Structure 1
């Protein structure tokens, strides 16, 4: 095989940012040239961004993408560039990779399989291409081949599988490419981040290189492109079932250019990080991109001193720390459009103070422990910290209702109402602070609470963005212990000493989250089977009774409670603030799990549990 130097380029793009997207691509091409790359592959839909949603359905949007491609051609002198974009042909839109060689467009490869599971909805926008089919496409008065194509460069025969194409087992295009005796397969992807997903990718790429007897190069998009999905910017190269190169995931940079020689030797080998590291890195990058792309000036957080809000506060501080470490102080501030001059040589805390404003909103049911937990954590991170009480507002609302209905409200008769009014009374004033700061209000809901509706609508669910809504509470509690030690966040010691509680009932009633619901460890097991695996209540009982140590009667009651609360609270999940997809599944009806707002609530299925002895 002739010598060939390839480059895999990951880019952080944004839908409708035509100028920015174009500049990042051309800057990356220039860097690839400096690194002596001869063949460059960008990710799937790099020209427009993958998250363009129904813009793909319009006539003008794919046309403009092709116009951007034409503008790109002059920048490809003495280099071959493969770049992804949508192409409309009559009534159909195709997800394609365009190949430019030395300032000439030589062909389009079209994606053959659409991703339709989980967060993906590609059949709404794109039409699958047929294997072995090639047509002529008119581009600037010239006919260009379009379809299932392969190419040659310096004696190297190469082809493409576009993202989902590679995940289709025995019908995937790679087998056809093997029959055509390609030496190299590129996989330009827009594959959403999920914790530990890199292990699946690595296994697939190694399998592909061995099965197809070729070099297999994978390149993914980067960053929080359009709000919910985060792309990790992973680059992999494999041969004969071995990984030859892997970059570090979740960079804060605009783009990364990683070059490889087509030689069967290890060339770059970043370590695979633990799940806890991936969580904080992805969340930090997601917050950074959301902040700068929304052109907001910072974050506001109702800091209760509990696990959820404390997790989010630490994630914002880590965003600052990691951003400065990778980009440098000046670039970090420039990207956030911050006109800020640090006063010390250790500016991290100062910048956290500029970006994160917190408030402890106490009531007569709040404890000194949670106040101190919130205050100490904010001080340790450098965040602005305010505190006030909302008893006056709660009393005002309560007295008005009592006068209207002609009776006093009591905890024995009106428990949920009296809890919810406290949570809701916190919302208007914290929104005022967000508005004053032109900042994003961070909602503190987690996935476990979203499952069962253990959150007050227009209370603790209020916010512009909900960073941890896709992560279960059991993981959060574990992560906080890890973060205190591994991220050197001593302020978390106060949080980690507390038992999770909403603090909405009088203190003498000793309210805890798990007493209200069930152990978080049990919620995790039920939701994985019910939501991720789509199992019935009966299936879940039969599986879990063998796996966890609980009396069968107790387990049945937990399963019933989960499904009843799940069904009853779908309307809440429909209204949650946008959240990042961080785990293998989530409960956001817009991006992963659709469920009817109105239903029979599994009544028949739950009755069957009682029939088992």
Structure 2
């Protein structure tokens, strides 16, 4: 048997600026790692302050409090006798750096700044930090006085160095550095580093985990080595859900993997690794020749060994075995990710529960089922003895019960914290949607209210007539387009006001103590947001939205999956129902249809969204791509009409995204205007644009030539 050592990585549910809470979770992870015999512990990126501090990273207080929390760890003897890799920001020479603090036995031995920063999509790290940008460069860092007094010296090394122990060598890289073409682990591995730590603040997106893990596996398949991946988990105060999945990989094989979605605030993953496997793996002469040309790293020496020593062979301690990667299906990701995010938001906001306007359509249905999924996850956590979840449930749902109260079923919990309301109109709402909403609420246990809003609608409508003498009519009654739209918007906005009224008063109606209100949940999907097919300040306006970055196509798959997995046969009726806003009167020959109103299908909207955002195509480029992709189902002129229609409505409705409810981020083509998709919201008229003229020129040429050439 070779040289064995136990290493630990973790997922922590940190919260931006929750100083004492973050400290407690860090220390708990250290204690648990030590209890399992680990000699190296790595934690998530910026774990001391929380990753999502955003512009708080510009404040001096934040850096002071980080050092104060770190001082607590350094002074705590229970956190000694283990090599610690801790994430926090530091200021050096008036510049802010996203850094790793490598510490041992109450002393800092290295500050390792991040070399390459995440600065696209949801990430704006260069707004707050600068990259170290000088591989292998090391200089001196002058410690704050409160740390220098404990350190026993004024200075410590800062820079791109590695840690040498008597039995191995380890180096740190941080999140984005793994995703760069020339990752630090390449040069470090050639320089003899055998253990790599990666501290991450990586958020969940549908179907993303495979990409992340394949990069780690490829890194160690090519270089050899032990790779410890740590990630934040949970909602730390923003639209993102960090999806954990801490793991240990050796030579491309997974030997330990944590959960991707969990209500555990602290999850420690350990593995027993044989460092001799790494040395045997790196046998190729070509690798050896390249290592002679690799950059030389300064090695920070320590006498602390990660292994127990050559002579201490213990036949009862064996290396962790290889295991397959556990990956959730997209339907499961929707059931788990937004549900865990909702629970974090609910328990940390101190609200009394949720309310959703339940329309009988698939979007609000999906939102309700995600809340029910949350209740199922909570029940599993209670059965597994999660004391934090039990305390949160008792505080939120059981405040007027005996102290040891907790629910027996997900439905019982759902009834305490989830409220649904159907707001119908006599002429517009069908019996089918009203019935579906009521039966779904009953099956999941929600506290349901059924009402009509006709009186409010007619009162608002009558204001214009009273003031001007003009009475607007719906389209089916002969009204103009502007009249029809205005009357639809009255209903939609009335529902938003009513939802907030009920959210504030229902806890009082139900005699819930504490006076806390309910969080209103939105249920506009990503495709409706992209197209702007919603009323500004209607029920799309809410406190948070768990499905605002999920496509209609994926929501249908999720509902189909949940129908059997959650034993909710009622969901079949939602899948088969025609999507409708039910904002116009139903007649014997007319029922409003979303796709007919939009002039495009939801599947087409998903394609437009991905080409616009992920493929980075404008109108002309999108037309060129779809001209080939849709050649078997659309003529060039039909493709042109669809592309131009999409861009026209996208442009004129873009202003709506500036006010959209904060939504769980799950999809790469989300039009979230907060920071993920930064676009103008006042566009020139696309129908007069040069790009549309170029499309028309190509269509005319193709029609003249007789079609698209093979």
- State the TM bucket, normalised to the shorter chain: over 0.9
Question: Does residue 141 of structure 2 align to residue 134 of structure 1?
Answer: no
Corresponding residue for 1:512?
593
TM-score (norm 2): 0.84
**Does the C-alpha gap of structure 1 residues 547 and 486 become closer, same or farther in structure 2, counting only changes over 3 Å?**
farther
Matched, 1:69 2:155: no
Structural mapping, 1:537-552, within 5 Å: 537-548=619-630, 549-552=633-636
Q: Which runs of 5+ in 2 are unaligned?
A: 278-319, 508-516, 700-710
Q: Does 2:542 align with 1:463? A: yes
Give the Cα separation in 1 of the matches to 2:449 and 2:95: 55
Q: How far off its partner does 1:583 sit?
A: 2.0
Residue 494 of structure 1 aligns to a residue in which SS?
helix
Q: Is the 8 A contact 1:353 1:382 kept in 2?
A: yes
Structure 1 window deviating more from structure 2 (425-434 vs 239-248): it is 239-248
Number of residue pairs matched? 612
Please state how far the C-alpha of 1:418 moved relative to its aligned partner. Answer: 1.2
Q: Cα deviations across residues 257-308 of structure 1 (Å, max 9, x unaligned)?
A: 1101123563555521211111111011110011111111100110001011
2:173 maps to 1:161: yes
Asked if the contact 2:8–2:228 (Cα under 8 Å) also holds between the matched residues in 1, the reply is: no
Indicate the larger mover: 192-201 or 365-374: 192-201
2: CA distance, partners of 1:5 / 1:332: 30
Tell me which moved more, 96-105 or 374-383. 96-105
- Residue 568 of structure 1 aligns to a residue whose secondary structure is helix
2:495 equivalent to 1:433 = no
The answer as to 2:103 corresponding to 1:45 is no
Deviates further, 398-407 or 81-90 = 398-407
Q: In 1, are the aligned partners of 2:235 and 2:345 still within 8 Å (CA)?
A: yes
Structure 1 distance, partners of 2:553, 2:640, is: 21
Counterpart Cα distance in 2 of 1:344 and 1:24 = 25
| Among candidates 206, 210, 214, match of residue 195 of structure 1 | 206
Residue 154 of structure 1, CA deviation: 4.9
Kindly indicate whether residue 92 of structure 2 is the aligned counterpart of residue 11 of structure 1: no
Aligned positions of 1:368-447 closer than 5 A: 368-411=431-474, 412-413=479-480, 414-436=483-505, 437=507, 438-447=517-526
**CA displacement at 1:405 relative to structure 2:** 3.0
Q: CA deviation at 1:248?
A: 2.5
Report the 3-state secondary structure (helix = DSSP H, G, I; strand = E; otherwise coil) of the residue aligned with 2:396. coil
**Corresponding residue of 1:365:** 428
Helix, strand or coil for the counterpart of 1:432?
helix
Is 1:122 matched with 2:201? no
C-alpha spacing 1:344/1:174, structure 2 compared with 1 (3 Å): closer
Residue 152 (structure 1) aligns with = 164
Does residue 1:500 correspond to 2:579, yes or no? yes
CA contact (8 A) 2:42 2:228 kept: no
Q: Report what 2:703 is aligned to.
A: none
Structure 1 SS opposite 2:4: coil
Higher alpha-carbon deviation: 380-389 or 435-444 = 435-444
- The 1:232–1:496 alpha-carbon spacing in structure 2 relative to 1, beyond 3 Å, is same
Per-residue deviation at 1:531?
1.9
Structure 2 residue 355 is matched with structure 1 residue 300: yes
Larger Rg: 2
Once the 2 structures are TM-superposed, how far is the Cα of residue 72 of structure 1 from its aligned partner?
0.8
Residue in 2 that maps onto 1:113: 116
Q: Choose 379-388 or 273-282, whichever is displaced more.
A: 273-282
* Greater CA drift, 559-568 or 298-307: 559-568
- C-alpha separation between the residues in 2 aligned to 1:577 and 1:397? 25
Distance 1:282 1:327 in 2: 18
User: What's the CA shift for 1:552?
Assistant: 3.0
Aligned partner of 1:332 in structure 2 is 389
| More off after superposition, 209-218 vs 35-44 | 209-218
Q: 2:223 aligns with which of 212, 216, 224?
A: 212
How many Å separate the matches in 2 of 1:393 and 1:339? 32
State how far apart, in whole Å, the 2-side matches of 1:540 and 1:266 are. Answer: 48
Unpaired runs of 5+ residues, structure 1, are none
Q: TM-score, normalised by structure 1?
A: 0.96
Following superposition, the deviation at residue 561 of structure 1 comes to 1.5
1:531 paired to 2:542: no
Measured against aligned partners, the alpha-carbon deviations of 1:482-539 in whole angstroms (never above 9, x if no partner) come to 2212332223133223111000111123211111111111111111001222202122
- Is contact 2:586–2:592 with CA below 8 Å preserved after alignment? yes
Q: Which residue pairs with 1:522 in the alignment? A: 604
